[in-house]
Amino acid sequence: MKQKIVLTLLILAMTLLPINAAGNHDLIPIYDLDLQSQNYILVDSNTGQTLSEKNHDTPIHPASITKVLTVITAIEALGDTSLDTIYTLPPEVFEGLDPIASVAGFQEGDALTLNDLLHGIMLPSGADATRAMSTYLTQDPEKLVEKMNRLAQRIGMKNSHFVNTSGLDDPKHLTTLDDLALLLRYSLKKPTFETIYKTETYLTSSTPTHPNGIALTNEALSVAHQKGYTMIKGAKSGTTDLAERALSSVAEDASQSYIFISTNAPFENRLYTQIIDHGTVYQHVLEHYRYVPLLYKNTTIQTIPIKHGRSDFDIWFEDDIMSYLPKDYDQDDIKIEFIPSQKEFEAPISEGMKMGEIRFSYKGKTLLEKEIINDEVIKISYLQIAFEAIKIIGFILAVGFGILGIVYLIYRQWKDYRDHKYYL
């Protein structure tokens, strides 16, 4: 009888294992691609699986990638408010605006839609737009950062803290690549955010100084497409002294979606190094790797005998077990190993009991491990116990009768011997 089992994903792409150098345990190694970025993470956007990383949990300065959080926080705070709502920018938006911050080109008194502001944050990375949105939502140019931190904590960004809405360098304005990947995956599930993140050009409402509207461009996305990296569908760049050249992006092919985030591509090298890094990584993945089934659903891997149980325990999965392998992989190189949690299992087996772990490997390299948890009580079979008892009793009786038989034969032989001696 098949028992339904609960699966807990333990290790994906070996990112939870201790490593000494980037790439040693990466599911898709990219350390030999001559990347300029000093920190990076490659993630399967659909599953959240880390495919490759370097310094994934090291505190970093995110620069304007911060604005991913600014935009998604604003979208959620706006709720059902129409994005066509007009907001006239007050003077406090521009009072205290850091002169080194990038801007969308908005001015005091401009009557813009909330949609204009959101695009002004994302495409040209406008600090004027972040301050305008913050003022609209909180009546303060930077108070939106409080909502940003609350959202970050709510979605699980455990190693992040933000002190401004734009991403300007600050010793306390820190995050990790793990957290940024989590943030971008979360945000891309929101249709409004996804649309804005994937927009290359946008024309705002008319303003006094721009009667035809302000043309906004996502330069990183535009340059990526100009360089032939058409698989890149969305991007948000950032540049500061501490983050150097940073970039987040999403790429897609017919079936898969990927997130790549990087920081600290040095200034002194060629222009757009961070964009070239992203294009290089995506090309490598799409050309050389496939997302393939290691095991098809409903395939029984192994049956665990349950002593005195009403049924044994079949190990199988309700969904295909998928992973990334080289396109020229050999199926015979895929190994599946079950490691039981104990030598023998005896009923009753309680719900939630760990039965063991399944390890999937390719050419000796662990791809992933899954914990096998029983989610149905396996009851005692008293009929089986009765049969075993009958067998034992039968065996004892057989042994007993056998002994009696032997004793009787010995007695007969002794009696015959005695009688024979007597007659002599």
Q: pLDDT per residue over 98-153, tens digit each?
A: 999 999 999 999 999 999 999 999 999 999 999 999 999 999 999 999 999 999 99
Residues 69 and 140 in one domain: yes
Residues 236 and 180 in one domain: yes
Establish if 379 belongs to a structural domain. no
Binding residues for substrate: 236
Q: Reduced to 3 states, what is the DSSP secondary structure of residue 79?
A: coil
pLDDT at residue number 12: 33
Q: Alpha-carbon distance 264 to 169, whole Å? A: 13
Q: Reduced to 3 states, what is the DSSP secondary structure of residue 156?
A: coil
Residues 162 and 281 in one domain: yes
Q: What is the pLDDT of residues 277-307, one digit of tens each?
A: 999 999 999 999 999 999 999 988 888 887 7
Residues 85 and 234 in one domain: yes
Residues 47 and 68 in one domain: yes
Q: Reduced to 3 states, what is the DSSP secondary structure of residue 114?
A: helix
| pLDDT-derived band at 262, boundaries 50, 70, 90 | very high
Q: pTM of the full predicted structure?
A: 0.82
Q: Which residues are catalytic?
A: 64, 67, 125
The C-alpha angle 194, 37, 16, rounded to 5 degrees, equals: 75
Residues 399 and 364 in one domain: no
Binding residues: 236
The two structure tokens encoding residue 131: 């301050």
Structural domain that includes position 115: 33-288
Statement: residue 167 has pLDDT above 70: yes
Q: What CATH number does residue 269 fall under? A: 3.40.710.10
How many structural domains are present in the chain?
3
Residues 301 and 282 in one domain: no
Residues 105 and 208 in one domain: yes
Establish if 20 belongs to a structural domain. no
